Amino acid sequence: MVDGDPKAEWFCEKCNAKEVSSSEEGEDGESTILAPSSKSRKVRYPTQPDNPESKPSDVAQSISDLKNFFIHKFDSLEESLKFNGKIMEDLTKEIKKVQEENKTLKKENTKLKEKQTEMEKDLHYIKTKLNQEEQRKLKNSMEISGIPPAPDHKQTILKIGALMKIPLQENDILNVRKTYIKTGGINSITVDFRNAITREKLLTQCKENIRKKEFLDTNKIGIPGEKKIVYLNEALTPETRYLFSQAKKLKQRNYKYVWMKDGVVYVRKSEVDRAIRIRFIEDVLKLEE
């Protein structure tokens, strides 16, 4: 038995002590020792190929290099993760900051909208009051439409009063001015009377004549040419006129009556329904719903 060599095969110690007389190379490239015994047996020892890569020191060096390579890569990855983490942290802080600023802006925007709404209401109220005041100034004024242009309309107005059996004097008429409003191509003038009573008498009689289908026309008041219907109405401010024109559209919503009284617009669905006062355009829109 050869101690310490597990790869050696056992054979007789006496035979081992003798000098090997001859040797030959096996087919597999391993050395073959022939014992002098009549029964020779082959002892095979594995040979180590001459390959430097298979040396333990080189393998250890390769493992060490590979280990250092991965340590370097992991260090680089760790640095990259730390860098990216810092970027993400900064971005998170910026996002939170923007979110807080956005919340503040939303609150300020809400307050501004509320303030704007209040200002719009105040402005709407002021405009309404101003229009009402302007409309009150027209309480003695009447608009006559359908009269062709003339140098002096006072005589025409006196004739209208006579036809309606309401005698007028020249001093009852303070002023006559063009309104420069063409409704359907009809010329209009505005007459300022000395008092509201005269205007109301003329308007009331005109409505009564219309109810009887006794319309006033240009031929009746002595104006030559093609006969045209002459209308008498309250003088209106532009805002009130617009409101009245929008209220007339409610007839398409089954509101049978739309009229003016002392500069105020009213509507009513039927004779048995109550009259509805129209103060703002929102009132018209609400009734259209």
Per-residue pLDDT tens for 95-146? 999 999 999 999 999 999 999 999 998 998 899 999 999 999 999 999 999 8
Q: What is the pLDDT of residue 35?
A: 43
Within 8 A by CB and 6+ apart from 59, the residues are 53
Q: How far apart are CA 249 and CA 80, in angstroms?
A: 73
Indicate if the pLDDT at residue 18 is higher than 60. Answer: no
DSSP code of residue 214: -
Q: Could you tell me the CA-to-CA distances from 109 to 97, 120, 154 in Å, in that order?
A: 18, 16, 59
- Determine the longest span between alpha carbons in the chain, in angstroms: 174
With 0-12 / 13-18 / 19 or more C-beta atoms within 10 angstroms meaning exposed / middle / buried, residue 276 is: middle
Within 8 A by CB and 6+ apart from 141, the residues are 190, 191, 192, 193, 199, 234, 235
Q: What is the pLDDT of residue 37?
A: 44
DSSP H or E run through 177: strand 173-178
Indicate if the pLDDT at residue 87 is higher than 60. Answer: yes
Q: What is the pLDDT of residue 88?
A: 86
Indicate if the pLDDT at residue 249 is higher than 70. Answer: yes
Query: Is the pLDDT higher at 73 or at 123?
Result: 123
For the segment 53-69, what is each residue's pLDDT rounded down to a tens digit? 556 677 777 777 777 77
For the segment 21-51, what is each residue's pLDDT rounded down to a tens digit? 444 444 444 444 444 444 444 444 444 444 5
> For 267, phi and psi rounded to 5 degrees?
-135, 155
Q: What is the mean pLDDT of residues 185-211?
A: 90
Q: Are 173 and 134 in contact (CB under 8 A)?
A: no
For the segment 93-104, what is each residue's pLDDT rounded down to a tens digit? 889 999 999 999
DSSP code of residue 183: B
12 confidence band (pLDDT: 50, 70, 90): low
Beta carbons within 10 angstroms of residue 138's beta carbon: 20
Beta carbons within 10 angstroms of residue 251's beta carbon: 12
Query: Which pair of structure tokens corresponds to residue 211?
Result: 């109810």
Q: What is the pLDDT of residue 58?
A: 75
SS3 call for 30? coil
Query: Is the pLDDT higher at 115 or at 19?
Result: 115
